[in-house]
Amino acid sequence: MHTVHLLGGSRTDFKRNFKKENKSLREVIVEVVRDAFAATCIEPGDIQAGVLGNFAGGMFTRQLHLGALLLEADDALRGIPTMHTEAACASGSLAVLTAAQWVQAGFYDCVLAVGAEQQKTMSPADGSDVLGAAADYHREKPEYGEYMFPKLFGRIAELYMQRYPSLTESDLARVAVKNYSHARLNPLAQMRESDLDFTTASTETQKNWRIAASPLKLYDCSQITDGAAAVILCSERFLDKLSHRCASGNASPRSHAPVSLLGWGHSTDCLALEKKDVPHFPQARKALSRALEVAGIRDPKTQLHGVEVHDCFSVSEVIAYEVIGLADPGQGASLLHSGATMLPSVRKTVLGADAPAAPFSIPVNSGGGLMADGHPVGATGVRQVLDAYQQLSGQAGPRQIEGAKRFLTYNVGGSMTTTVAMVWGT
């Protein structure tokens, strides 16, 4: 098995509205691919294959067969094999994982992975109906009605609270405040200008919304987002070639250790929520356990330095703490209260000036996560991997995790149906 290296990539500003810019998926994919080439000193002719993650281009934009759009970034890409991956909100991470497996198996030495989604093409109600296809639509739509996913995760939160009454709505609000605080440090986050405080997050209500998705409130939910992200993966052999090219003057040599894929896991559960073991989600745990085991991570609390989790709703992040092994079952809220999952620079903002020092530090969603950075469904998993690269290469700016050497990305599709976990390191 060949070592897989992550060369970096690019992403769009998640605050953009592509329709208002008169742009389609075609133009945005071309933009983000060209930006990725510029960021990595990769030449288009280096790319031997490409994968594009997208959930619902056919419904949001009436365009499928999306792998072909990668070729429009440069004529040198024409003729390479491409494919489109779809696994609901995990479509992007599945694109990265597919690209990594091709390199790992020795099929290709340099592969492009892109995630893209354009959602702001229709009303929120119609868009929510499209997103409902990530659930067991024909069975769950009659039960949950409009805005299926807030209701599905509202049900998950209810079941969690029934099993572990220690979790409160105030805890869920604190997840939102943490991630919004992180997003203010991220210049490309959708909600970077939103100064969400605990009072607003915990008391703000829209009666119809709250009745529909109790115990979730508006700020417990991720965003409707347009966005794209791209990363480039390569083999050891190609990395050596690239290092010689950079050193010869074509680009600046890298000043950091190579970022590599250390372990991965991928699992799928039944589509319907009622068939899943809530809130423990053992099938998701399988993917996490495999990724951590292969990477040699026995104690995530001490051996990981940062994590990107799938916080499509606030309760999702609390459950992620436990699925990953950062907290015991039912103790996710306690971990949050400790401040361990917050960047040191925002702990006092979230917990108060008198908050004690955290017992350990493992910032989660340091760029704002899906709740505040944004959630362009097919791009989210790729964006997570790009965040991992930035943290491990020391390029995360004001949200930089000091001394980051091991980083986990954890992306979920549907109501915890598809799970893709990857451990990256230097």
- Mean pLDDT score of the chain: 95
- Three-point CA angle 64, 410, 305, nearest 5°: 140
User: How confident is residue 352, by pLDDT bands cut at 50, 70 and 90?
Assistant: confident
Q: Please, which residues have CB within 8 angstroms of residue 62's CB and are 6 or more apart in sequence?
A: none
pTM as predicted: 0.96
Beta strands in 94-220 (DSSP E): 110-117
Q: Please, which residues have CB within 8 angstroms of residue 173's CB and are 6 or more apart in sequence?
A: 198, 201, 202, 217, 219, 220, 314
Q: Residue 79: is it exposed, middle or buried by C-beta count within 10 angstroms (0-12/13-18/19+)?
A: exposed
Is the confidence at residue 170, as pLDDT, over 70?
yes
pLDDT digits 0-9 by tens, 40-72: 989 999 999 999 999 999 999 999 999 999 999
Of 87-96, 239-248, 415-424, least confident by mean pLDDT is: 239-248
Is the confidence at residue 155, as pLDDT, over 70?
yes
- Average pLDDT of 263-290? 98
Provide DSSP, 314-362. Answer: HHHHHHHHHHHTSS-TT-HHHHHHHTTTS-GGGHHHHH-TTPPPPSS--
pLDDT digits 0-9 by tens, 377-409: 999 999 999 999 999 999 999 999 999 999 999
Rounded Cα distance, 389 and 298, in Å? 22
Domain boundaries, the chain: 5-121+225-250
Rounded Cα distance, 310 and 17, in Å? 22
Is the confidence at residue 308, as pLDDT, over 50?
yes
| Contact present, 3 and 236 (Cβ < 8 Å) | yes
Q: Please, which residues have CB within 8 angstroms of residue 263's CB and are 6 or more apart in sequence?
A: 290, 291, 292, 293, 294, 295, 296, 297, 422, 423
Beta strands in 47-101 (DSSP E): 49-53, 82-85
pLDDT digits 0-9 by tens, 66-97: 999 999 999 999 999 999 999 999 999 999 99
CATH of domain 5-121+225-250: 3.40.47.10
Is the confidence at residue 23, as pLDDT, over 70?
yes
Rounded Cα distance, 88 and 235, in Å? 28
How high is the pLDDT of residue 209? 58
Rounded Cα distance, 249 and 231, in Å? 23
User: How confident is residue 253, by pLDDT bands cut at 50, 70 and 90?
Assistant: very low
Taking alpha carbons only, the member of 112, 134, 111, 131 closest to residue 123 is: 131
Is the confidence at residue 213, as pLDDT, over 90?
no
